[in-house]
Amino acid sequence: MKPTAPLNDLRAYLPSILARHYPELRATDVSAMPSQGYLNATFLFTSNSGQEWIVRVSQRAEHSEGVADWSAYHKEIWALSEAGKVGLPVATPHPHVAYFAGRKDEQLACMLQRKLAGVPAAALQAALPGVWLRLQRELGSYLKSVNSIMTQGYGSGFDHVQNRFLQDWKGYLHAEGSRYGMETILAHPLLAGGRREIFKALCLQLENKPSTAHLIHADLNDTNVLVDAHTEQITGIIDWERCAGGMAPESELMQLIFERLILGHHYPQDSLAGFISGEQRLPELESFLNGYEITWEEYLLRHHRGVLILLLLKTLPFLNWWFAEGQHSGTVWAESAACGEIVLNRSMEILS
């Protein structure tokens, strides 16, 4: 987390905040969790009924009263409730988002959700590869249920009064490039020559494709799936902060591929290149698709092109970040940047 306030300060006065806003839970044993989020401070407490609750605290503008009529925490509460209705193993959220002032008068917000049992699935990936592939099938089945939830609107911004996402289809597509703006992305050196016009044509092609909005989780990295280490079954799908209205299954598959192949480096670069070209099956993705009830052949025929265009929209801003701002220093970032270039180069060959 980019701290909203020092953890020690938050830990000191959080019990009084919980007592004021959630008196029915009678929170005790408030402690900081060992792993802190990038954008949220996270704490754990026990209620009077013996249940464990996770508290997340953030200072971002979208969590501050008076800044807007919506909050990312309200979005999560809505998404968790909807996902629970279709049978997903998700944390039960408390319906109330609390707003309060920190010791330096900074505006803070917090949300509560019950703690789920299990360990991150990443712990089983290397040790039990066969189990890992079965978990991907199970995850694909769950995500098909998530993607069956229709939404009003696209993108991650959320109006909690009307329970709708704030962007239209075109705005959602361009949002992936909003960090720098589409004009900056189009000026990227890797889009030199005829590639720039090809990329613009591909974006226009997807803009004109009919689509209905569906809920997507949008952050399926290895730590956001919890597993029972003994039964090897999924016990929870967590961290819905980035959930959005998107195109199903293309938006979800794109995010999965970005997390696992570009950021997570689950496969060698030549395997990534073969997948982009449609010439190589990836067991992890194929297992996920099987759970989603999509065959590999059906994926290539009906979904691969849309996934690649969305992947380009996602990857190009990151290439700007990695190269233009020097964030590619270090082995991990350098590998991710190299994977991003593979996506760009091979996708341009396939899509043009």
- The residues spanned by each domain of the chain are 7-114, 119-351
Per the CB < 8 A criterion, the answer to whether 165 and 152 are in contact is yes
Q: Which helix (H) or strand (E) holds 208?
A: none
How far apart are the C-alpha atoms of 342 and 312, rounded to whole Å? Answer: 11
Q: Which residues of the chain have pLDDT under 50?
A: 1-4, 66-70
CATH number of 119-351: 3.90.1200.10
CB atoms within 10 A of CB 153: 20
Amino acid 70: pLDDT = 47
Same fold flag, 7-114 and 119-351: no
Tens digit of each residue's pLDDT (9 = 90 or more) over 23-65: 999 999 999 988 777 678 899 999 999 999 999 998 765 555 5
Tens digit of each residue's pLDDT (9 = 90 or more) over 131-182: 889 999 999 999 999 999 999 999 888 888 889 998 898 888 876 655 555 6
Task: Provide the whole-model pTM.
Answer: 0.89
- Cβ density class 281-309: b for 16+ within 10 Å, e for less: ebebbbbbbbbbebeeeebeeebbbbbbb
Question: What class, spelled out in words, does domain 7-114 have in CATH?
Answer: alpha beta
Per the CB < 8 A criterion, the answer to whether 173 and 323 are in contact is no
Give strand ranges (E) for 171-237: 213-216, 225-227, 234-237
Amino acid 333: pLDDT = 72
Average pLDDT of the residues of the chain: 85
Amino acid 322: pLDDT = 64
Mark residue 59 as left, alpha or beta (left: phi above 0; alpha: psi -120 to 50; beta: remaining).
Answer: alpha
Amino acid 1: pLDDT = 39
Cis peptide bond prior to 15, omega within 30° of 0 = no
Tokens 């020097």 label which residue? Answer: 326
Amino acid 2: pLDDT = 46
Amino acid 23: pLDDT = 96
Q: Which residues, listed in sequence order, are joined to residue 213 by a DSSP beta bridge?
A: 247
How far apart are the C-alpha atoms of 182 and 175, rounded to whole Å? Answer: 9
DSSP tag of 223: T
